């Protein structure tokens, strides 16, 4: 039987020499790969009490929505600055070369709601750290953070210390 990692296409020397790019689109293109990936996320959540799923654009949408749908939960999108139409809160975070800003609607998380965050990949953890801060600013509680892939060499999990983090696939390098 195939595993999710069997559907990941690894591209050496992209975007620069020495880097192995882990391509999630090859999981999405195969119905069995997509099924395994979503079921892997659902397995992490089978004993978790939560109210809503939060996911950053764009691949957090791809994997978070089927999780929310399967569990009959709502889904909250987190987007890049300027893309949401209503009142938002925002959080700036550092990238390797600069910074970025993500936003969520101010009314997206209700005080006391239990939140699961879903994304495709954890690298340095900056995006998800920013999302946890916004959820908590709105009065929510992050009860689990789930990823399809983790690049353990970038130590993103350390940035999320204090949260329960799970990854379907872990790659030891960067």
Which is the catalytic residue, given 9, 22, 96, 136?
A: 96
Active-site residue flag, 157? no
Angle at which helices 59-70 and 31-45 pack, to 10 degrees? 60
Active-site residue flag, 3? no
Q: In what order do the strands lie in the sheet with 98-105?
A: 88-95, 98-105, 74-80, 52-56, 114-122, 141-151, 165-171
**Which residue's entry shows tokens 């296409």?**
9
Which is the catalytic residue, given 59, 79, 103, 157?
A: 59
Query: For residue 101, what are the β-bridge partners?
Result: 92
Task: Give the residue from 122, 116, 118 showing the smallest Cα distance to 169.
Answer: 122
Task: Give the residue from 49, 9, 44 showing the smallest Cα distance to 25.
Answer: 9
What does DSSP say about strands 52-56 and 114-122: parallel, antiparallel, or unpaired?
Answer: parallel
Q: What residues are annotated to the active site?
A: 59, 96
């Amino acid at each position: 039987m195939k595993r999710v990692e069997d559907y990941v296409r690894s591209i050496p020397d992209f975007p620069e020499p020495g880097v192995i790019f882990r391509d999630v689109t090859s999981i999405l293109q195969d119905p069995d790969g997509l099924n395994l990936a979503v079921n892997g996320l659902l397995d992490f959540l089978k004993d978790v009490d939560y109210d809503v799923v939060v996911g950053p654009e764009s691949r957090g949408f791809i994997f978070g929505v089927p999780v929310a749908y399967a569990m009959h939960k709502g889904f909250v999108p987190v987007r890049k600055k300027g893309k949401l139409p209503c009142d938002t809160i925002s959080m700036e975070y550092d990238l390797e070369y600069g910074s970025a800003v993500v936003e969520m609607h101010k009314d997206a998380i209700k005080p006391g709601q239990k939140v699961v965050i879903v994304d495709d990949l954890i690298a340095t953890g900056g995006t998800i750290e920013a999302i946890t801060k916004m959820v908590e600013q709105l009065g929510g509680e992050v009860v689990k953070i789930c990823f399809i892939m983790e690049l353990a060499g970038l130590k993103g999990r350390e940035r999320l210390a204090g949260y329960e983090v799970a990854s379907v696939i872990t790659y030891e390098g960067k």
